[in-house]
Structure 1
Amino acid sequence: MSIKTSLKLLVVDDTSVSRGLVCMSLDEIGFKNVDFCSSGEQAFDIATRQGVHIILCDQNMPGMSGLDLLKKLRMQKSTSRVGFILISGSLTKPLLEEARKWELNNFMPKPFNTAQLKSCLQTVTGPF
């Protein structure tokens, strides 16, 4: 079974256009098991109840930010090993340093293209 069909990915972004762009890129890459939601709270619920392998999450969302979600996931035994990619148009050095303390797997600046997203994912999964 291919990694593109076996991995469960979750796209988290409060903006439908951004969610759509990430999902379209994942589809172009060939990922088949992709879900999405619009908040960190929903993402945490999905991760704990259904399980996911990799979360691609926007940083700037109302309520729970991407970094807040990462911290909450890492503090739970059942979700502590979930792959996490932070996506943002305003990735700062202090933000990335804090995220790395919480074992961020990778990050993706906005805007991005499909090739950049594929490369970002491959640093987490290995070649596919």
Structure 2
Amino acid sequence: MPNASAVKVLIVDDRLTSRMLLRDGLQEIGITQIDMAPDGEAGLKAMMAKPAHLVISDFNMPKLDGIEFLRAMRAHGPTSQAGFIMLTGKDDASLIKRAYQYGANNYLTKPFTVPDLKMQIEGVVGPLT
């Protein structure tokens, strides 16, 4: 059971509003080690420089979309084992299936509630204390 304050999370989303909503939700459940990136390319650079335990990434982004970002992360040894939650604007079964095929651990549909966010995170890292 990890302590929420010990979990490092990287939020990757091209929309500032989405990044802020995710950050606020994470802080509400006790996660305080949060980094953010505005697209998949910046997210990959952030993961290479300072790997997080968990990535929450939007699918639809410029430069590297969520699937390309996920594939690049899984191909790089130091980041290959990080948890990954795909964030999507719609409940698209084919996208979710592709995300799982490339190694996503869970997914979250926008709009989300803080309890939904916590449930998806705990599905990846285990119950938070």
Per the shorter chain, which TM-score range? over 0.9
Identity %: 32
| 2:16 aligned residue | 16
Question: 2:122 aligns to what SS in structure 1?
Answer: helix
User: 1:110: Cα distance to partner?
Assistant: 0.5
User: 1:91: Cα distance to partner?
Assistant: 3.8
| Paired residue total | 128
The letter of the residue matching 1:55 is: V
- In the alignment, does 2:59 pair up with 1:59? yes
| 2:99 aligned residue | 99
Separation in 1, partners of 2:72, 2:27: 28
Separation in 2, partners of 1:38, 1:91: 22
Structure 2, unmatched stretches of 5+, are none
The letter of the residue matching 2:44 is: F
Question: 2:52 aligns to what SS in structure 1?
Answer: coil
Could you list the structure 1 runs, at least 4 aligned residues long, displaced by more than 3 angstroms after superposition: none
Equivalence map 1:32-111=2 (5 Å): 32-111=32-111
Separation in 1, partners of 2:91, 2:79: 24
The answer to which of 83-92 and 115-124 deviates more is: 83-92
Separation in 1, partners of 2:88, 2:36: 17
| 2:117 aligned residue | 117
The answer to which of 36-45 and 2-11 deviates more is: 2-11
Separation in 1, partners of 2:116, 2:97: 21
Separation in 1, partners of 2:123, 2:63: 29
Q: Deviations over 1:26-81 (max 9, x none)?
A: 01111110111101111101111111110001111112111110001011111110
Cα RMSD, aligned residues only? 1.4
For normalisation by structure 1, the TM-score amounts to 0.95
The letter of the residue matching 1:82 is: A
Question: 1:31 aligns to what SS in structure 2?
Answer: coil
Structure 1, unmatched stretches of 5+, are none
